[in-house]
Amino acid sequence: MKQHVNTALGSVLLLSLVVLVAVIAWQENRLINVETVPFSMLPTQPKACTEDAKICSDGSAVGRTGPNCEFAECPKTTGLADKLIVSSPGIGAAISSPVVVTGRARGTWFFEGSFPVEVHDSNGKLIGSAPAQFVPKSAEDTWMTTEFVDFRGEVKFSQPTTSEGYLLFKKDNPSDNRALDESFKLPVKFGKADDVSAWKTYRNKKYGFEFIYPAGWEAPEIKSPCCGMRFESAVAFRKSRTLEENSSGFDVKIYKGLGLDDQRFTDEIASTGDEPTSCEKNSFKSVTVGVDGYQSKEIYILGGDACFREGYFFSIARNGYLFNIVPIPEGGNEYVNYDGKKEVQKSLPEFNQVLSTFKFTK
């Protein structure tokens, strides 16, 4: 009897061992065999990219990025990548006179800090030209280098007879060896002078006004009063601040606590002596300007006036402030026998468009 019990117990133990081995084998088959799995299926740790940089043709730098640590794409530019890069205008852009050109070129493209830029119609007729000037970033910068340096130019051109044309960027070659001549032709379209679709919008949240201004102009500059000036704040808009000291544009000067009839207390009005009431009557005209037809004053004083110094600007009053919008035609607005209105119409036609879009936002 005892022998039968031992035999049965042994059979049970053997069966249990077999079952245990089978379970272990089944579990092992469920595990991933790393040696047989393709490498691409294995989880990977994020790769840390090196911090080296790639220098692009326009002088900017890009770093490595993405899962494969590849260099990012360089900015898209137009020109001769190894010698001249035109940032603005772009290929096929609509331009009007004057057209502002900017970019970078190697110092060997310049002579005496400039090189010529021409405007041609589609028939090849020359309708305008002007130099593009080297623009230093610091006092140590020089165009006398083989490296890339910045340039900027402003080219006026006559009314084209074709709808398309091109800008010609010419290497300045002072020698008689024409084999050294080089140039780059940039196709453009001629837009209407009053086409403002590409203009920028300036918004002043503090004083609550906005308007548009030409896209090719410099960024607006905030000015603070000094030297006895009466305005509280001013914003200066200029076509260029690098090519000439008296570049044309306009200022918006803001005076606190003045009304629409207080122009005589602003910096734009200077007396030449006695001020009879007839002076203001003849020179200060009530008009409406802006998007919503704001009541304003047109100040138009010719040179040689018996009461005030010459001047031309517009005044609008709002919320306890007086806003003087002062155009600055080419050559400035301070000389004998100055006729501001005539000068603005001749050299600053954009001003009327700016004035027509003036709008208060509060």
**Distance separating alpha carbons of residues 105 and 132, to the nearest angstrom:** 11
What is the tens place of the pLDDT at every residue in 19-56? Answer: 666 656 555 554 444 444 444 444 455 556 665 556 56
Does an H or E element contain 233, and which? strand 233-238
Domain segments of the chain: what residues?
78-190, 200-360
What is the tens place of the pLDDT at every residue in 168-188? Answer: 999 999 988 888 899 999 999
What is the tens place of the pLDDT at every residue in 250-282? Answer: 999 999 999 988 888 898 887 766 555 556 555
Which pTM does this prediction carry? 0.49
183-190 and 94-95 strand pairing = parallel
341, 300 contact by CB (below 8 A): yes
Span 200-360 CATH architecture? 3-Layer(aba) Sandwich (3.40)
**Distance separating alpha carbons of residues 317 and 126, to the nearest angstrom:** 47
Span 78-190 CATH architecture? Sandwich (2.60)
Q: In whole angstroms, what separates CA 57 from the centre of its chain?
A: 20
Looking up tokens 């001769």 gives 80
CB under 8 Å to 46, separation ≥6 — which residues?
A: none
Widest CA span in the chain: 145
* The pLDDT of residue 215: 85
